[in-house]
């Protein structure tokens, strides 16, 4: 399938099968010109038990490097709220859904090296899928990234570059390396194929709920890859007439690093970058300057949802509460439950929260004295 990427800001078009990773005009992220039609529920019976069961919605065929990602369980937390256990993906986070797409694309392009930058989980996922696909890989992470994530990246054989400074400094270092010859920049932020992997989270929900979606989807947002993937899937299902009502997308940020939630509250389309954000246990969403900010704000607004912030204490409470229910997730993985559980801001008759990173990757969020 020969597809085109385009810049959502200025319309510049680029063939999808190239190493160009951003818009040459405005330097922004690219989207994929691809609007597939999902199959009706009954035609899914008997298909492979991974995200590749939604083949007609995926821009690449199932690659040899698949690790069986997707098809994660949905379990009830309360009468209204279900949790989707995306930490049960092969590398223990939802990023596998997008990483397999980028490794598949890289295999086709045959670069000398694959580069990724990450707060940990995306880098781990890219490292694993590159190992599987026998692609040389370098992962840039910020200093302070959880030791277990670093261990996992190294174990997959990737070269690890620990960058002094925050996630922004890490992204800058990776972007410089990405412009070198023969490099495929497996950016979960800039490369739109990633979003066509994460969208399978919603296709699965739709299938598991018998052909419907909940009233509200609560989603953690740093760079917004799960949220934007979810918005893509909702649009596909709605356009195909397979749902008649779109769910509200509720985006959750840590109060310590909340550029999008602040813009939302100010009624603005522009984020104001905090040069010195406070530390947060939710390292996966500590993104001060997300390149897809406008798209994320628009997707939440168009869905009828809202932005929410959670404090460090709420994150730790939620993590402990989930553990008391048998679910040990990493601190970032607890933020949606923190926004939803008793006293949280997200309500509704049917709500799904993702638990999207495993607890053993980070351990418990630190106790600041009030838990
Ligand atoms: C466990 C977990 N949840 C949520 C996120 C946020 O994803 P995004 O930055 O794409 O919004 C991440 C990102 O690394 C993560 O690791």
Whether residue 2 is contained in a domain is answered as: no
Mean pLDDT computed over 44-48: 97
Residue-wise pLDDT for 276-289, tens only, equals: 899 999 999 999 99
The model's confidence at residue 215, banded by pLDDT at 50, 70 and 90, is very high
Residues 174 and 90 in one domain: no
Pocket test for ligand 1, best of 146, 187, 201, 225 (most atoms within 8 A of CB): 225
Residues 162 and 140 in one domain: yes
**Domain final residue pick, 191, 216, 237:** 191
Whether residue 299 is contained in a domain is answered as: yes
Question: At CB < 8 A and 24+ separation, what contacts does 325-330 make?
Answer: 325/77, 327/83, 327/85, 327/355, 328/358, 328/359, 328/360, 329/87, 329/355, 329/356, 329/357, 329/358, 329/359, 330/87, 330/146, 330/284, 330/357, 330/358, 330/359, 330/361, 330/362
**Domain final residue pick, 191, 217, 232:** 191
Residues 253 and 350 in one domain: yes
Helix (H) or strand (E) holding 322: helix 312-324
Mean pLDDT computed over 104-112: 96
Residue 369 pLDDT greater than 90, yes or no: no
Q: Whose CA is nearest to atom 16 of ligand 1?
A: 284
Mean pLDDT computed over 122-139: 98
- Using the mean position of ligand 1's atoms as its centre, give its distance from the Cα of residue 64 in Å: 26
Given this model, what pLDDT does residue 281 score?
95
Residue 343 pLDDT greater than 80, yes or no: no
The model's confidence at residue 344, banded by pLDDT at 50, 70 and 90, is confident
Q: What is the mean pLDDT of the chain?
A: 95
Given this model, what pLDDT does residue 346 score?
83
Whether residue 39 is contained in a domain is answered as: no
Report the CATH number that the domain containing residue 224 is assigned in CATH: 3.40.50.1100
List the structure tokens of 142. Answer: 């910020």
- Using the mean position of ligand 1's atoms as its centre, give its distance from the Cα of residue 241 in Å: 30
| Percent of the chain with pLDDT strictly greater than 70 | 99
Residues 146 and 87 in one domain: no
- DSSP class of residue 357 equals B
Residues 229 and 317 in one domain: yes
* Local structure of 363: helix, strand or coil: coil
Residues 217 and 348 in one domain: yes
Residues 264 and 315 in one domain: yes
Residues 100 and 89 in one domain: no
Residues 266 and 355 in one domain: yes
Domain count, the chain: 2
Mean pLDDT computed over 41-47: 97
Mean pLDDT computed over 19-25: 95
Residues 208 and 301 in one domain: yes
**Domain final residue pick, 154, 172, 191:** 191
Q: Show the domain range for 178.
A: 96-191
Q: Whose CA is nearest to atom 12 of ligand 1?
A: 284
In the structure, which protein residues have their CB atom closer than 6 angstroms to any atom of ligand 1?
93, 119, 121-122, 220-226, 284-285, 287, 330, 332-333, 356-357
Residue 16 pLDDT greater than 90, yes or no: no
Residue 370 pLDDT greater than 60, yes or no: no
Mean pLDDT computed over 49-54: 98
List the structure tokens of 153. Answer: 């990246």
Residues 281 and 348 in one domain: yes
Distance, in Å, from the CA atom of 293 to the CA atom of 287, rounded to the nearest integer, reads: 10
Residues 147 and 279 in one domain: no
Given this model, what pLDDT does residue 244 score?
94
Pocket test for ligand 1, best of 221, 327, 332 (most atoms within 8 A of CB): 332
Given this model, what pLDDT does residue 1 score?
62
């Amino acid at each position: 399938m020969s597809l085109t990427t385009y810049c959502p800001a200025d319309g510049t078009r680029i063939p999808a099968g190239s190493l160009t990773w951003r818009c040459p005009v405005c330097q922004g992220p690219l989207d994929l010109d691809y609007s597939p039609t999902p199959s009706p529920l009954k035609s899914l019976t008997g298909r492979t038990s991974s995200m590749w069961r939604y083949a007609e919605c995926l821009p690449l065929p199932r690659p040899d490097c698949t690790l069986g990602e997707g098809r994660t369980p949905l379990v009830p937390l309360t009468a209204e709220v279900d949790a989707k256990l995306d930490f049960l993906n092969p590398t223990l986070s939802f990023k596998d859904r997008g990483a397999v797409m980028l490794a598949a694309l890289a295999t086709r392009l045959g670069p000398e090296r694959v580069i990724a930058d990450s707060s940990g989980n995306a880098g781990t996922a890219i490292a694993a899928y590159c190992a599987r696909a026998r692609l040389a890989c370098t992962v840039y992470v910020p200093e302070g990234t959880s030791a277990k994530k670093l261990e996992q990246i190294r174990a997959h054989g990737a070269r690890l570059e620990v960058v002094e400074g925050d996630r922004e400094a890490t992204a800058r270092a990776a972007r410089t390396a990405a412009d070198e010859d023969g490099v495929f920049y497996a950016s979960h932020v800039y490369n739109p194929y990633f979003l066509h992997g994460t969208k399978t989270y919603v296709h699965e929900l739709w299938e598991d709920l018998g052909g419907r979606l909940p009233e509200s989807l609560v989603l953690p947002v740093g760079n917004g890859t799960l949220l934007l993937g979810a918005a893509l899937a909702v649009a596909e299902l709605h356009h195909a007439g397979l749902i008649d009502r779109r769910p509200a997308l509720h985006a959750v940020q840590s109060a310590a690093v909340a550029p999008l939630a602040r813009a939302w509250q100010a009624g603005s389309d522009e984020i104001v970058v905090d040069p010195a954000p406070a530390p947060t246990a939710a390292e996966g969403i500590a993104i001060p300057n997300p390149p897809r900010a406008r798209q994320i704000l628009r997707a939440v607004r168009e869905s009828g949802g809202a932005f929410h912030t959670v404090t460090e204490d709420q994150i730790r409470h939620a993590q402990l509460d989930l553990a008391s229910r048998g679910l040990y997730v990493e601190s970032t993985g607890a933020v949606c439950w923190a926004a939803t559980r008793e006293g949280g801001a997200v309500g509704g008759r049917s709500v799904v929260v993702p638990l999207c990173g495993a607890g053993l990757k980070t351990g418990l969020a630190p106790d600041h004295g009030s838990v």
